[in-house]
Each structure stands twice: as C-alpha cells, then as structure tokens.
Amino acid sequence: MRHHIPHIALALFVSTATLVAQTDDPAVTSWRLNLDGTKGHSNNSAVHNVVSNIEADILRERYTPAHVFVEAEGVPSHEVGPWPGNPNMIAARGWTWRIPRNPAPATLYNYETPLGQIGTMINGVPMYNTKDGRSYLFRGVWEQDAIWFEGATMDVGLGHPQNAGDYHYHSHPVKLAQQVGQNGVDHSPILGFAFDGYPLYGPYGFSNPDGTGGVRRMESGYAHRNMTQRHTLPDGTQLSQYYWGPDVSASYPLGCYIQDFEYIAGSGDLDEFNGRFCVTPEYPQGTFAYFATIDSSGQPQFPYLLGPTYYGIVDTANIVPGGGHIGVPNQATDWNPFSIYMNDVEAGGTARIAIGNCGAGSDVFFAWSLKGAGPVNTPWGVGSLTPPISNIGPFIASASGFVSTTASVPTTLLGKTIYTQAVSTPPGATSLLSSPSRVTVQ
C-alpha cells in the first residue's frame, strides 16, 4: 500500500497507548536495526552490483548486563560510492562489535586511538581516527590528515573503503545523520559509540553542559598552530633535521598533517578527547559524550570524531588484529523492539517504511509530525510527537508482527525533519507505542 505524506498535518493522532520499553539504556536502544532486509545501493553501477547483494545496517543485536553485541556487514543503507582515485571496493565484513554498557573513565592512562576501527556508527560501519596511515617521507612524524589527503576519495556520505573492503568514516557521516533526523535545531542524535562505550553525537548539543541554553554547534578545542616551518611538535619538542616536515606552503598548507594542530584548553566547548560531560536527551543525568565536529560551513573540523586518545577504558577486543569478530555469550538477550525503520526518504520520491515487532495480527497506525518530538500527554500515555500530528493505517501486522508500506514524499519537504512513532494494538492485549524515530528529508 502506498500513501502520501502531506505538507500540512491533517489530524491529531491519539490512541489508547501506553509506553512499554524493554530497556531504556541508549547503548541498547540507539542502533539502526534492519527490519526488512534492506540492502546497500549506489548510483554507480559497479558499486551497486556489489552492495545490492549485501544487507545493510545492523542485522542482529544482543545484550548482557555488561555489553551490547551488534552484528553488521559494514554496509550502510544510505547511498555509497563512487570513490574517485580509490581502487578499493566495499565488501561484506561480518562484523560483531562489543560495546561496554557501563563505561568508565580511564585512570592510569588514556589509550591512543589506533589506525583502523576506533568505534562503530549506529549502522555498524566503523569509524576511523584522523590519520590515513602515512607520514611525510615515511618517517613517522608528520602524519597525514585523512580528510586533507583522502577527502577527494570519499563519497556523498563521507565514507570510503580501505584495501580489505572495510567501508568507514573519518568524520561526520552526513548521510547517516540525515537518516536519523539531524537538523541543527534539535540536539544531535547519537551517531555511534566509541570502543570505550561512550556515545558519539552529531555536531549539535545543548549550549550549556547542564542541558540549558538551547542548541548550538559544538566547537572543537583544537586549532592550527602558529608556524611557518615544521621543525617542532605540538608539545614543543625540537626535532632533528631528519624529522622536519615540509615548510608550510600552498602544497603543504596548515592542517594537512596531524601535528599541525594543537589543543588549546578553554578555546572551545570540547576537551582534548573531543567530548565533554553533559546532559543529553538520552542521558538526562549526564554522561561523557564525544561530538562529531564541523565548522560554520558544515565542513569536518579537526579532530572530526574522537581526539588522539580515548576518554574511557577501551574494550580492545574490537581493535586487536582480527578484532571486530567477537563471540556472543549464549546468555545474551536478543533486542527486538517495536520500532520503525525508514529508507529512501527523499523529496519527490517514495519512502519505504518498515515497522517491526508489532505483535501478530495487530492493528498498527503510523503517525508523524513536522513540528517536533513532543512530548504530548494523552489519557493513554506519553507520545513523542508534537501536534499537529497525522497518521496512516490501520495496517494489519503479519504473523511475525511486521508491517511494510510506502509513502510519497512531496518536494516541499526537502530539508525538513519528520518525527514518527507507531502504535500497535495486538488482539486482546494492551496497545503499545513504538520507540520514536525521525528522519531529515534529503
């Protein structure tokens, strides 16, 4: 069945619903679960021939009191490729990431973010640090900044594959951010988790760490060093001539090497780890959180995701040789929430909407708002939509508790955020509200 999402909401959505959640831990609830077998896609035929055979996003999630285990092939559901000048091809990688549910600050030393994966985005795609693995004259000192030296090889989602086929992001994953409703008005959503268990948010946070002052872009505390010659390190170490880098020039401008940057305490919102302890929508009591930093024009801002070191104690099983393929304990519990999974939400196109774990034979309504994420109080529970609210349905859930539908997206919604939630009434049972979801129309 195909429906039309109007520009103006038509009716207030109310239902006999009470909010039921298996857990409210964001480390469990934040992942982009693939509910309908969506596969990768690309506008490039060679890339599409590969990714269209690979299931996208998170394929299975399980958890224990200590950890969350997420399984993914490392292919996102947003468009990927091509990668000009990059001969590598994306591949299915069979990742199983293990994320600590009870993160703690490092006390003895802060673990350096390594080459390769340093965390995972909520779609199962690994995040990498600032480096591209090379240095000036291969002497291990002036390390190349991946955004500067490899930026031209990145696709519309700011990702690219390395030689083993690992698709990854070095900076703010713009297409993923749109898929989960980042808009610069609301606090950014969680985009991923570092391997110390702390969340990575998009660029926008509350002005004040206590959650007050509105929402604004978070400023990195890193800046270009004031220099014309690369003879010293950021900590003042004088280098022997053998380890000098090239003089600053049009060919080697400030910012093309990692050591061109220095952290200046108090100069931005974030610390040397590219994070801060703060209140967020998912952590009303506060948490340490990393932020994906961008500048005022929307371009990636150093150090992009995490700083040179982690804030917390790292689960190194994800990053040792062969890491990211971790066994899951038999006692782990599957996470199968009543949730919404949307794809292809593009202006002038047809959005695909999947609603999972509704309850067999349930009457299901899909509701949305253009005004915000609520809350809205009703006699039956608290909804996460701001009136006016529209809905389509009812749909009858399959025997497996699944609903699939489509909706036309008017061109007038380009750049707008759609806030969504579903309600399910299983036969003879209490109505349930799904976890809320949002998407920014591309």
**What's residue 427's pLDDT?**
87
Spans of all domains in the chain: 2-21+338-440, 26-318
From 264, 251, 261, 249, select the one nearest 304 (Cα to Cα).
Answer: 261
pLDDT band at 13 (very low <50, low <70, confident <90, very high): very low
Q: What is the pLDDT of residue 380?
A: 54
Query: What mean pLDDT do residues 331-357 have?
Result: 96
In the numeric block, the tokens 């959505």 are attached to 13
- Measured in degrees and rounded to the nearest 5, phi and psi for residue 283 equal -125, 75
Q: Determine the Cα–Cα distance for residues 120 and 136; give it in Å rounded to an integer.
A: 29
Specify the pLDDT at position 93.
96
Work out the average pLDDT over 408-423: 96
In this prediction, residue 161 has a pLDDT band, given cuts at 50, 70 and 90, of very high
**Mean of the pLDDT values across residues 30-41?**
98
Residue that has been written with the tokens 């559901």 in this structure: 77
- Confidence class of residue 382 from pLDDT cuts 50, 70 and 90? confident
Q: What is the mean pLDDT of residues 152-178?
A: 96
CA nearest 26: which of 61, 77, 72?
61
| Assigned token pair, 308 | 């040179």
The class that CATH gives domain 2-21+338-440 is mainly beta
Longest dimension (CA), the chain: 79
Give the helix, strand, coil percentages of the chain, each rounded to 5.
10, 30, 60
pLDDT tens digit string along 77-115? 999 999 999 999 999 999 999 999 999 999 999 999 999
Q: Report the pLDDT averaged over residues 308-322.
A: 93
Comparing 22-26, 117-121, 142-146, 296-300, the range with the smallest average pLDDT is 22-26
CB-count burial class (<10 Å; 0-12, 13-18, 19+) for 231: middle
- pLDDT, position 432: 87
Label residue 378 by pLDDT band (50, 70, 90). Answer: low
Q: Which tokens go with 363?
A: 């009457």
- Pick from 173, 180, 169: nearest CA to 30: 180
- Give the pLDDT band of residue 16 (cuts 50, 70, 90): very low
Mean pLDDT of the chain: 92
Strand locations in 260-338 (E): 261-263, 275-278, 287-291, 333-334
